[in-house]
């Protein structure tokens, strides 16, 4: 088992990662009867894509003996209706330095676009990834 999730009432849940004990609170968004006082489940889904991409990029950078510490990802989630779902995730990766070689850039972009979360999302979710070098 990976985690447990408890419904706390008022459209809020608490997820607990069993190995580490780390907890995440979710709240329904304002546009879906919530208070938006925490990540919504769909926020976490979109954010997971960015986190996964950065992790796989970090593994690739380490395996190729270069550094990308300090890289950030700005995530925008676009919702659609009927049925309510994520239709697009836009991620803007801002890299911490400007001296990456063309090969290193290709390695990092390929890593981001081939992370496990990217492959796990439905094909109907458009994934837009921009890199600021």
For residue 23, what pLDDT band results from cuts at 50, 70 and 90?
Answer: very high
CATH architecture type of domain 40-132: 2-Layer Sandwich (3.30)
Instruction: Look at residue 98 and tell me whether its pLDDT is greater than 80.
Output: no
CA distance 67 to 97: 9
Residue 98: HSE in the Cβ half-sphere, 13 Å Cα cutoff: 0
Rounding to the nearest 10 degrees, give the CA dihedral for residues 75, 17, 56, 69: 70
Instruction: Look at residue 97 and tell me whether its pLDDT is greater than 90.
Output: no
For residue 49, what pLDDT band results from cuts at 50, 70 and 90?
Answer: very high
pTM over 0.75: yes
| Residue 109 contacts residue 131 (beta carbons within 8 Å) | yes
Would you call 93 exposed, middle or buried from its count of C-beta atoms within 10 A (0-12, 13-18, 19+)?
A: buried
């Amino acid at each position: 088992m990976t985690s447990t999730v408890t419904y706390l009432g008022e459209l809020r849940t608490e997820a607990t990662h069993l190995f580490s004990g780390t907890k995440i609170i979710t709240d329904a968004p304002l546009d879906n009867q919530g208070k938006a006082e925490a990540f919504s489940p769909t926020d976490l889904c979109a954010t997971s894509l960015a986190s996964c991409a950065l992790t796989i990029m970090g593994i690739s950078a380490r395996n190729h003996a270069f550094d990308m510490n300090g890289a950030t990802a700005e995530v925008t989630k676009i919702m659609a209706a009927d049925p309510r779902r994520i239709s697009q995730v836009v991620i803007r990766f801002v890299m911490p330095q400007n001296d990456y070689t063309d090969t290193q850039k290709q390695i990092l972009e390929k890593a981001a676009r081939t992370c496990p979360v990217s492959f796990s999302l439905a094909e109907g979710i458009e994934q837009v990834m921009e890199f600021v070098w």
